[in-house]
Chains A and B, each alone.
Chain A
Amino acid sequence: MLLFGIVFAPAITALVLALVPQKWLARLTPIVPAAIFVWLAATQVGADTIVTAEMPWFPSLGVTLSFFLDGLGLLFALIISGIGALVLIYAGGYFEKPADRVRFSIYTLIFMTAMLGIVTSSNLLLLFVFWEITSITSYLLIGFKNESSAAREGARRALLITAGGGLALMAGILLIGIVGGTFDLQTLLNNPDVLRESGLYLPITLLIFAGAFTKSAQWPLHFWLPGAMEAPTPASTYLHSATMVKAGIFLLARMSALLNGTDLWLYTLTIIGLITFVYGAIIALRQTDLKAILAYSTVSWLGILVAVQGAANEYAAVALAVGVLAHALYKAALFLMVGNVDHATHTRLIDRVGGLARPMPITFAAALVASLSMAGIPPLMGYLSKETLNAASVYDGLPALLAALLPIGVVIGAAFTVTVAFRVLYDTFLKRAPAGSDLHPHEANIPMLAGPVVLGVLSLALPFLLVPLLDPLISQTATAIRQTPTAVHLHLFEGFNTPLLMSIIAVGAGLLLFTIRQPLIRGLQKLPEFNPVVIYQWFFFTALPVFADRLTMRLQNGRLQFYITIIFASFITLISGIILLARLSFLDGDVLAHFDWRIAVVCLFIIIGAVSTIFAPTRLSAIVVAGIEGSLLSLLFAIYGAPDLAFTQMMIEVVTLVLFVLAFHFLPDAFVAQKSRVGRALDLLIAAGMGVMVTLLILVANSNQIGEPISDWYIENAVSLGQGQNVVNILLVDFRGLDTMGEITVLIIAAIGVTALLRFRPASQPRGGQFLTKNVEPPPEEPLPPEDESHDEESEEANEEEIS
């Protein structure tokens, strides 16, 4: 049960903060994630048992609120809560307006719950719900400065891509549920081969990939992440570097034991990840905005975290665990550093800043540790991470192609990462400030220093706390990823081996590239950029709208005649299709069993009326004849002994007549022939077909009595259950009350629609009288909704009556 508290405490805090949007309360919010972090670190690191919690949610659908905290979830939960606390503290110094800080804290706390939910969910559907909440909170945070169009565009792009991936993930999860018979991760992990052996392995894996790759910004879908840098810096730090973008990595690690071991898994992850790693590192170098540099280098690092998961061996699991932790520590510190620089100098362009080491010594110190860690310089966390990574890349069991590609790719990417790290550090803090620049930098305030300093200290200290802290944590994580007990013993120095050699080459090459960075960057900037964002733009903002436009123009062209033709034609096709396919009989029953000459007479009049409507010269005369038809129909009801229906039908006719008369105000009185002879012949055909189909339908209903008619039940129980004599009314307000509720709601919607169309139509649209000259159909201000509605009810009731 404690796990529920951990997952939902941030969201509850957000709720309280939303109700009491006060600055002092926002100031207290970091306590919540800090407490979670302390509890996790104190009780869970090195623990032998896995904490679980469960509560039924939709028992009929097999959805339970079930959580479990294994090593993998623990590592991520520590990062989420720890960095979350630092970011909330940071926000206190970053936002100038208290309202902004409150809003930011609310979004961030909700996000925190969602993220903790992802990493601890045991039920896959639950995981999906949390997954989507992170997409939405990310959208809100990227669009935080909602008056900026770039922020809105970035938010929309991130949402479209990650939510699209979320849909794929949902499909994958549903397939897993079908194959595995359960959505429970713990159950699935106990029987790990069930998915691999099924015929749906390929689609499941591809769908999970789609979810993970979009969330974790893998090439070629990485472009939303740089766009997400419009978010306030603390949000970028938290979501788009330390936690949310690692949800995809987490998902792969979580599913690894269920899906890995195939060529599909190995090659897709390794190759896509490697491309992302090298591409991101190179593109990062050519950026000039500090945040964009860090964004692309995050893309790059996410790539390597995907790539190492392909092989899914012990080294890979360790490299993943250490890599996630190291990256979260140094990249979050660097992002916060950029926030400080931006705050102090009001620019993030690397060409405009320089020499900030002196005015901002503490920020500089933290950035120094973070960027050296990023470059993989011993004895920092980044170095440890790079060593484990190199070890994973030269693992013996890899197939020849990857055994050649992986180490080379890792070294190239690492070299560029080193260059980027040094460039960020040197050009921001050490290089002389550009001539003529007018910066008055100052050191950041204490809340804004806390984060970088704490993270820097951790990057520095953790490698020296291997035995008490890191080894047990990483062992737990690797065990959870591989689902086999794994004991990890990390060492800062393992002797001269291949991984160390690779590190040395990477750092050397990186330093070399750093010295020639000016021409290198200029060269890179001249390179033509293949940016998949073009495809995204085309798809969402050209192809889709044009397609939707054309479709709408075709189907919703404003001609009521066309709509009716479509509806009737579909009706005819459907009914005749069903009758033919199901070979329904329609002359079984005695059709003339209840013949009544009075009814025959009324029907004769109705037919005469219908025919004369066609020949009515004016609209008014047509509608009057139609009104008489309705009255005759109510006479039919009366003969059948349904006074309710008869009366209602009469009222409907009256109201309809008045509405029509009011509507005719906008129409020419006489009908104007608009159609060719062929067109009218087609209309005749459709009308006749409609009549035939309705007749057939009635005959079919008469001949195919499947079950006992429910009307008997209604009549029997009207008094005892409904406590009344009028079955029709009891049906409406009691037995089928929910239907009526739906119908009256539709009525209201129709009324709102009519009012909106009449009152708020654009001024440019032609007004009533002009229809005369323009000869077009009226705007759809038809008075049909109430009439339609009542007819529905009428026919429903009529059926009941007839059967009874």
Chain B
Amino acid sequence: MTRSVFFQFVARVMLPVLLIFSLMLMLRGHNEAGGGFVGGLVASCGVMLMTLAYGPDEVRQRFKIDFLRLMFWGLLIAVFAGVLGLFAGGAFLEAEWWKPFIQGIGRLELGTPLLFDIGVYIIVLSVTSSIVMSMAEEGERND
């Protein structure tokens, strides 16, 4: 497959933009439009762009991330968020909040739903990316 240098440039510029945007989407999801699911999709768009521009092999080498493995970490985080509720005396997945006040920054709102959302984000990102990459790989092999 021939690679377009222009496309590669765009992909490289877009990747950090998309990743930061996706993180922002995930973090603000609790109060404004966004969330782990759509955040994960945006992030996977970044990976997808890179895959289309550079080919799956190079992306694999550069990122050194095994998405198949990463998705289980995501699930683990989500389950852990659920178990935290259990430990706090509630039911599985019952939300627990922790709101420390930090001088100069303001009140942080940390809770198990956020942790759960991070799990969702990781899973959506890694599932989509792994499917895209394996399909792209299969395409390369046939060329």
Q: Which residues of A contact B (CB under 8 A)?
A: 643-644, 647-648, 651-652, 654-655, 658-659, 662-663, 665-666, 721-726, 728-730, 732-734, 737-738, 740-741, 744-745, 747-748, 750-752, 754-755, 758-759, 767-769, 781, 783, 785-786, 790, 793
Instruction: Please give, as numbers and ranges, the residues of chain B lying within 8 Å of A666 by CB-CB distance.
Output: 138-139, 142
Q: When the two chains form their complex, are residues A747 and B142 in contact, meaning their CB atoms are under 8 A apart?
A: no
In B1-48, the 8 Å CB interface with A consists of 29-38, 41-42, 44-45, 48
Instruction: Please give, as numbers and ranges, the residues of chain A lying within 8 Å of B126 by CB-CB distance.
Output: 751
Known interface pairs A744-B119, A751-B130, A754-B134. Does A658 touch B72 (Cβ–Cβ under 8 Å)?
no
Known interface pairs A738-B93, A747-B124. Does A726 touch B30 (Cβ–Cβ under 8 Å)?
yes
Instruction: Please give, as numbers and ranges, the residues of chain B lying within 8 Å of A769 by CB-CB distance.
Output: 142
CB distance from A545 to the nearest CB of B (A): 32
- A786 CA to B67 CA, complexed, in Å: 15
- A730 CA to B33 CA, complexed, in Å: 11
Q: When the two chains form their complex, are residues A748 and B75 in contact, meaning their CB atoms are under 8 A apart?
A: yes
- A750 CA to B9 CA, complexed, in Å: 32
- A740 CA to B114 CA, complexed, in Å: 13
CB distance from A267 to the nearest CB of B (A): 54
Q: When the two chains form their complex, are residues A733 and B117 in contact, meaning their CB atoms are under 8 A apart?
A: yes
- A780 CA to B42 CA, complexed, in Å: 26
Q: When the two chains form their complex, are residues B35 and A728 in contact, meaning their CB atoms are under 8 A apart?
A: yes
Q: A658-B48, A659-B132 are in contact. List 14 more A-B contacts (CB 8 A).
A: A644-B34, A644-B35, A666-B139, A729-B35, A737-B113, A737-B116, A738-B92, A744-B78, A744-B123, A750-B131, A751-B130, A754-B130, A767-B142, A768-B138
Q: When the two chains form their complex, are residues A662 and B30 in contact, meaning their CB atoms are under 8 A apart?
A: no
Q: When the two chains form their complex, are residues A733 and B127 in contact, meaning their CB atoms are under 8 A apart?
A: no
- A654 CA to B123 CA, complexed, in Å: 18
**Residue ID in chain B nearest A757 by CB atoms:** B134
Q: When the two chains form their complex, are residues B37 and A748 in contact, meaning their CB atoms are under 8 A apart?
A: no
Q: When the two chains form their complex, are residues A654 and B45 in contact, meaning their CB atoms are under 8 A apart?
A: yes
Give chain A's interface secondary structure class: helix
Q: Which residues of B contact A (CB under 8 A)?
A: 29-38, 41-42, 44-45, 48, 52, 68, 71-72, 74-75, 78-79, 82, 92-93, 95, 97, 109, 111, 113-114, 116-117, 119-120, 123-124, 126-128, 130-132, 134-139, 142
CB distance from A791 to the nearest CB of B (A): 12
* Residue from A647, A663, A732, A751 in contact with B71 in the complex, judged by beta carbons closer than 8 Å: A751
Known interface pairs A655-B45, A737-B113, A748-B75. Does A758 touch B37 (Cβ–Cβ under 8 Å)?
no
Of A654, A662, A722, A729, most buried by chain B (CB within 10 Å of CB) is A729
Counted as pairs of residues, one from A and one from B, with CB atoms less than 8 Å apart, the total is: 156
Q: When the two chains form their complex, are residues A734 and B45 in contact, meaning their CB atoms are under 8 A apart?
A: no
Q: When the two chains form their complex, are residues A651 and B38 in contact, meaning their CB atoms are under 8 A apart?
A: yes
- A769 CA to B117 CA, complexed, in Å: 41
Q: When the two chains form their complex, are residues B134 and A755 in contact, meaning their CB atoms are under 8 A apart?
A: yes
Q: When the two chains form their complex, are residues A747 and B123 in contact, meaning their CB atoms are under 8 A apart?
A: yes
- A752 CA to B70 CA, complexed, in Å: 12
Known interface pairs A647-B38, A737-B82, A751-B130. Does A744 touch B74 (Cβ–Cβ under 8 Å)?
yes
Instruction: Please give, as numbers and ranges, the residues of chain B lying within 8 Å of A786 by CB-CB distance.
Output: 124, 127-128, 131
A-B contact pairs, 24 of them (CB 8 A): A651-B42, A654-B45, A655-B48, A655-B132, A659-B132, A662-B132, A665-B135, A666-B139, A721-B95, A722-B95, A724-B113, A726-B31, A728-B35, A730-B30, A733-B29, A733-B36, A733-B113, A733-B114, A737-B93, A744-B78, A744-B124, A751-B130, A767-B142, A783-B135
Q: When the two chains form their complex, are residues B74 and A733 in contact, meaning their CB atoms are under 8 A apart?
A: no
User: Which 3 A-B pairs have CB atoms at the shortest separation, nearest pair first?
Assistant: A724-B30, A725-B31, A651-B41
Instruction: Please give, as numbers and ranges, the residues of chain B lying within 8 Å of A744 by CB-CB distance.
Output: 74-75, 78, 119-120, 123-124
Q: When the two chains form their complex, are residues A748 and B72 in contact, meaning their CB atoms are under 8 A apart?
A: yes
* Residue from A652, A663, A730, A745 in contact with B135 in the complex, judged by beta carbons closer than 8 Å: A663
Q: When the two chains form their complex, are residues A726 and B41 in contact, meaning their CB atoms are under 8 A apart?
A: no
Q: When the two chains form their complex, are residues A658 and B132 in contact, meaning their CB atoms are under 8 A apart?
A: yes
CB distance from B141 to the nearest CB of A (A): 8
- A759 CA to B56 CA, complexed, in Å: 14
Q: When the two chains form their complex, are residues B142 and A665 in contact, meaning their CB atoms are under 8 A apart?
A: yes
Instruction: Please give, as numbers and ranges, the residues of chain A lying within 8 Å of B52 by CB-CB distance.
Output: 658
- A329 CA to B78 CA, complexed, in Å: 57
Instruction: Please give, as numbers and ranges, the residues of chain B lying within 8 Å of A737 by CB-CB distance.
Output: 82, 93, 113, 116
- A178 CA to B95 CA, complexed, in Å: 40
Instruction: Please give, as numbers and ranges, the residues of chain A lying within 8 Å of B95 by CB-CB distance.
Output: 721-723, 734
Known interface pairs A725-B31, A758-B135. Does A750 touch B127 (Cβ–Cβ under 8 Å)?
yes
Q: When the two chains form their complex, are residues A741 and B123 in contact, meaning their CB atoms are under 8 A apart?
A: no
Instruction: Please give, as numbers and ranges, the residues of chain A lying within 8 Å of B38 by CB-CB distance.
Output: 644, 647-648, 651
- A533 CA to B43 CA, complexed, in Å: 60
Instruction: Please give, as numbers and ranges, the residues of chain A lying within 8 Å of B71 by CB-CB distance.
Output: 747-748, 751
Of B35, B68, B71, B97, most buried by chain A (CB within 10 Å of CB) is B35
CB distance from A381 to the nearest CB of B (A): 56
Q: When the two chains form their complex, are residues B123 and A793 in contact, meaning their CB atoms are under 8 A apart?
A: no
Q: When the two chains form their complex, are residues B93 and A741 in contact, meaning their CB atoms are under 8 A apart?
A: yes
Instruction: Please give, as numbers and ranges, the residues of chain A lying within 8 Å of B128 by CB-CB distance.
Output: 655, 786
Known interface pairs A665-B142, A740-B120, A744-B74. Does A647 touch B33 (Cβ–Cβ under 8 Å)?
yes
Instruction: Please give, as numbers and ranges, the residues of chain B lying within 8 Å of A759 by CB-CB distance.
Output: 134
- A730 CA to B36 CA, complexed, in Å: 11
Q: When the two chains form their complex, are residues A755 and B130 in contact, meaning their CB atoms are under 8 A apart?
A: yes
CB distance from B96 to the nearest CB of A (A): 11
- A783 CA to B48 CA, complexed, in Å: 14
Of A663, A733, A747, most buried by chain B (CB within 10 Å of CB) is A733
Known interface pairs A644-B35, A655-B41. Does A725 touch B48 (Cβ–Cβ under 8 Å)?
no
